[in-house]
Structure 1
Amino acid sequence: MTELVSVDIQRILEMIPHRYPFLLIDKVVDIAIGESAVGIKNVTMNEPQFTGHFPGQPIMPGVLIIESMAQTAAILVVQTLGEDAEGKLVYFMSIDNARFRKPVVPGDVMHIHVKKKQRRGPVWKFESEVRVNDQVVAEATIAAMIRGS
């Protein structure tokens, strides 16, 4: 049986270099080392993107939803590789089959599910989906490379 691990915001700040306003996950739960993880993002009205996207009808930009997938995947990668990977940059290589099924709005809690599809050296590929209230709101296949591993 796989042991599940959780990472809080303080640990996230040690593991990846992202900071406000571009840190888009609040915690990561149910980490199965080398396999999968679930990121949690509490979407709040006081986030800077909502002043312009869109005034009077705030909607989480799709690119930021994709970025939350990447940050969740980065935590899985660092947790899998260990301390030597902490703080290293992870570069997007591809985003495939991205679909946005329902708008994400302030008050929603995004559950960002990432599952490793394959790994070849420093390149990792993930199947990702975001759920709000157990409903899939976005999905994509993403690939990224961790620098210096």
Structure 2
Amino acid sequence: MSAFPRLLPLHIAPNHPAFAGHFPGHPIVPGVVLLDEAVQALAAAEGLLPVSLQVGVAKFLVPVRPGEPLSLSYKATAPGRYALEVKVGDDMTARVAATATVTLQGAQHEGEA
């Protein structure tokens, strides 16, 4: 069994505005954009509406270029707390691009009051 049992595809549009200044001629996905997309995908998959986000530890291990295939693996480690792993590349060549622990504070499931 995988250490990260939930797997989702991630997509960052090649024309994302962050690429304009990060870095001209050799664009890479900024870490904050990578983490934001991962947290949004996690929240959507879990049906959560977080009020705020706390990032425990985040490590960015390899650069991600526009249009590269991405996937998010995650697992709950406590209520509202998750360990994330973002991989870049296809199934056969995927490398871990980033890892993080996050807490979605005040998160409610969609439809809760």
Instruction: Pick from 129, 137, 146 the counterpart of residue 85 of structure 2.
Output: 129
CA distance in 2, matches of 1:127, 1:58: 27
Whether 1:107 and 2:76 are equivalent positions in the alignment is no
Any residues of structure 2 matched to 1:1-149 within 5 Å, and which? 36-78=5-47, 89-119=49-79, 124-133=80-89, 134-145=94-105, 146-147=107-108
CA contact (8 A) 2:60 2:97 kept: yes
For residue 102 of structure 1, give the secondary structure of its aligned residue in structure 2. coil
Unaligned stretches of 5+ in structure 1?
1-34, 79-84
Deviation at 1:36, TM superposition (A): 5.0
Q: Cα RMSD (Å) of the superposition?
A: 2.1
Residue identity matched to 1:139: T
Instruction: Count how many residue pairs are aligned between Structure 1 and Structure 2.
Output: 102
Deviation at 1:38, TM superposition (A): 2.3
Deviation at 1:71, TM superposition (A): 1.1
Question: Among the aligned pairs, what percent are the same residue?
Answer: 29
For residue 43 of structure 2, give the secondary structure of its aligned residue in structure 1. helix
Deviation at 1:69, TM superposition (A): 1.9
Say which structure is richer in helix: 1
Deviation at 1:92, TM superposition (A): 3.3
CA contact (8 A) 1:37 1:73 kept: no
Q: TM-score, normalised by structure 1?
A: 0.60
Residue identity matched to 2:86: V
Corresponding residue of 1:17: none
CA distance in 2, matches of 1:98, 1:106: 21
Deviation at 1:39, TM superposition (A): 2.6
Runs of 4+ in 1 over 6 A off after TM superposition: none
CA contact (8 A) 1:113 1:130 kept: yes
Q: TM-score, normalised by structure 2?
A: 0.77
- Aligned in 2, Cα 1:37/1:92: closer, same or farther, shift over 3 Å? farther
